[in-house]
Amino acid sequence: MKIALIGYGKMGREVERVAKLRGHTVCAIIDKSEPAATYKEVDGSGSCFKDADVVIDFTMPAAALTNISRVTAAGKNMVVGTTGWYDSITDAKQLVGQSGIGFIYSSNFSVGVNVFYRIVEAAARLVNKVPEYDVFGYELHHSQKLDSPSGTAKSIAEILLKNIGRKKQAQYEKLERRINPDEVHFASIRGGSIPGTHVVGFDSEADTIELKHTARSRAGFALGAVMAAEWLKGKKGFFTMNDFISDFFR
C-alpha cells in the first residue's frame, strides 16, 4: 500500500518504520512542525494524499474531525489513532457514509491491548456473579500525554460497566468523598516516559485479582494501526478495532 501520514510525532515515525518493514510505502507526510514533512497541512483539495491508498492519522483531538472531513472528501480510506475527539463520532459516521470509504478508529490500536479488552470482559462477566468483589482500575502514561484519562482507560471502564450489573458509573477524578457502591474508580497517573500501563483489579475481603497490560514501546500501537490499514483494503463503512480483532480471531 501507499500510505499518507497525518502527524509525524513519535507515533507517526513509528508507524512509518513498521509500515516500511511490512513492505508498504509512505508517500506523504503531513505535519506543520516537521521540517522533513512533504506537506505542512491537510489542504482542502486533498492533493496532499492524492497518491495514497490509505491515510493514517495520529494528531490532535481538535484537528481530527477536520482531517476526517478532508480525507473522506478525497475518497481515501482512513485509520484514526488520535484520541479525545469522540464527541464528534456522529459527524464522522455521516461523513464516512456519504463518501463510501473504509474507516477505522480506536482508542488503542495495540493488538495486545485489544486482547486485554477481551480478557477484562470475560473476567467482568465472572465477577458479575460474585457480589463480594468490588472493582477498580488505574493507568500510567508518559508526562507528554495530552488526555487524561486515556481513551484506553475509558474503553476498559465501559467494558466493566457493561458487564458488571451492579456498576453504573465510572469516576475518573479525585474523590473528596466515599465512592458509591455503583461506581468504578479509574485513576490516571502521568510521569516519565511510560508508553502505557493499564491495571484492572477485583477485590474482596479474602483476596485480590489483578489484570495488567504493560506496553514496552509504541511498536505495538503502530503495528496494530498498519494491520488495521491492511484489513481495511477493499472495505467500505465505519469500523472500530473491535471489528478487526473479531475478524482476526474468527
Asked about 145 being catalytic, the answer comes back as yes
Q: How far apart are CA 96 and CA 36, in angstroms?
A: 30
| Of 24, 141, 167, 185, catalytic | 141
Q: In 3D, which of 151, 19, 142 has the Cα closest to residue 82? A: 151
Count CB-CB contacts under 10 A for residue 62.
10
CA dihedral 116, 121, 125, 128 (to 10 degrees): 90
Asked about 141 being catalytic, the answer comes back as yes
| Of 2, 10, 93, 145, catalytic | 145
Which residues pair with residue 26 across a beta bridge? Answer: 3
In order, the DSSP letters of the chain are -EEEEE--SHHHHHHHHHHHHTT-EEEEEE-TT-TT-SBSS--TT-GGGTT-SEEEE---HHHHHHHHHHHHHTT-EEEE---S-GGGHHHHHHHHHHHT-EEEE-S---HHHHHHHHHHHHHHHHHTT-TT-EEEEEEEE-TT---SS-HHHHHHHHHHHHH-TT--EEE-SPPSSPPPTTEEEEEEEE-TT--EEEEEEEE-SS-EEEEEEEESSSHHHHHHHHHHHHHHTT--EEEEHHHHHHHHT-
Active-site amino acid positions: 141, 145
